[in-house]
Amino acid sequence: MRETLRREDAGVIIAPESPAVADVRALLDEHLADMHATSPAESVHALDLSGLLAPSVTFLTARDDDGTLLGCGALSELAPTTTTSAGRGELKSMRTARPARGRGVASAVVGRLVALARERGYAAVALETGPQEYFAPARRLYARHGFVPCGPFGSYSPDPCSVFFTLDLTGTVGAAGDAGDAGDAGRVGTAGAAVGPAA
């Protein structure tokens, strides 16, 4: 099945783009700075530019129809587990530009990334974010998209500064209501607040 990477949603254009583009890089730098200001260094799992350029990562931006950057997010392919050969994905680098918060940008990006994971036949999508109040809007966003708490996955270890969520894609398609905007939607690997972060 051909992946539909570009989507226009209520004037928000979500499409693949390099994270090295100047305005995107500035948004990601802001994201990383917020993550390090909110969590201990060893608990910051946000990808840097080189990580986002890896072949296993699909990076999307959300832009207004005039080209203004509204936000971004990424889907990273996880290695198969010993219990299943089906692919799995992880949401990373969810971030909404401050002027665009409250417009549903993060919800639209999460919806597009989850749809992409379904198109790829992934069994599940997971994410890591913070338990702090700063990340509460992001946690609400993910819950509204059907994500539920889970244990550490992939290379993560238990960490009091991390919480984990997963979305099972093997059953029926769940409703992904508009959660407004969680800014970063996570430290996604982090899901943000301010509403602002997802590593």
Per-residue pLDDT reduced to its tens digit, 59-101: 999 999 999 999 999 999 997 766 666 799 999 999 999 999 9
Note whether residue 95 is domain-resident: yes
In a domain, 61, yes or no: yes
User: Coil, strand, or helix at residue 154?
Assistant: coil
Q: pTM here?
A: 0.82
The answer to whether residue 2 sits within a structural domain is: no
- The domain that holds 142 is classified in CATH as 3.40.630.30
Quote the distance between the C-alpha of residue 173 and its chain's center: 19
| 153, part of any domain | yes
In a domain, 196, yes or no: no
- The whole domain housing 70 covers 7-191
What does 71-131 look like in DSSP terms, one character per residue? EEEEEEEEPPPSS--S-EEEEEEEEE-GGGTTSSHHHHHHHHHHHHHHHTT-SEEEEEE--
pLDDT by residue (tens digit) across 125-162?
999 999 999 999 999 999 999 999 999 999 999 999 99
Separation CA 95–CA 105 (nearest Å): 9
pLDDT at 3: 47
Q: Is the residue at 1 inside a domain?
A: no
* pLDDT (mean) for 185-190: 42
Task: Tell me how many domains the chain contains.
Answer: 1
Sign of CA dihedral 153, 140, 63, 100: negative
Residue 32 lies in a domain: yes
